[in-house]
Amino acid sequence: MIQWKKIAGMFFIGLSILITVMCGMQLFLLVKKVCIAGFNAEAYAYDVSYITGYFTALLVQVLFGVFLFRTGRRWIQVNKAENNPQEEMQDEE
């Protein structure tokens, strides 16, 4: 029998790792843009709103990645419990 919950759990964990790597790359590019270009005095409000929006998007991506990681781990644990009920009972004792 195919263990769909285990497969989906591993997929979610892999997807969360990919999202984390993408967030790191985006954060690096943002820091590079700010450090190299600096703040433009004339467009200060634009720069602040741009950076705030960028960090908000990064925060949403990180939270989604954490959600996927936790869901993946939970599904893998449920799959183990369904396939090995005796092993789980031995752990409780």
Is residue 69 within 8 Å of residue 13, measured between CB atoms? Answer: yes
SS3 string, 18-57, reads HHHHHHHHHHHHHHHHHHHHCCCCCCHHHHHHHHHHHHHH
Mean pLDDT in consecutive groups of 10 residues from the start of the chain, 93 residues: 81 87 84 69 63 83 87 85 67 50
pLDDT of residue 82: 80
pTM for the predicted model, two decimal places: 0.65
Is residue 3 within 8 Å of residue 82, measured between CB atoms? Answer: no
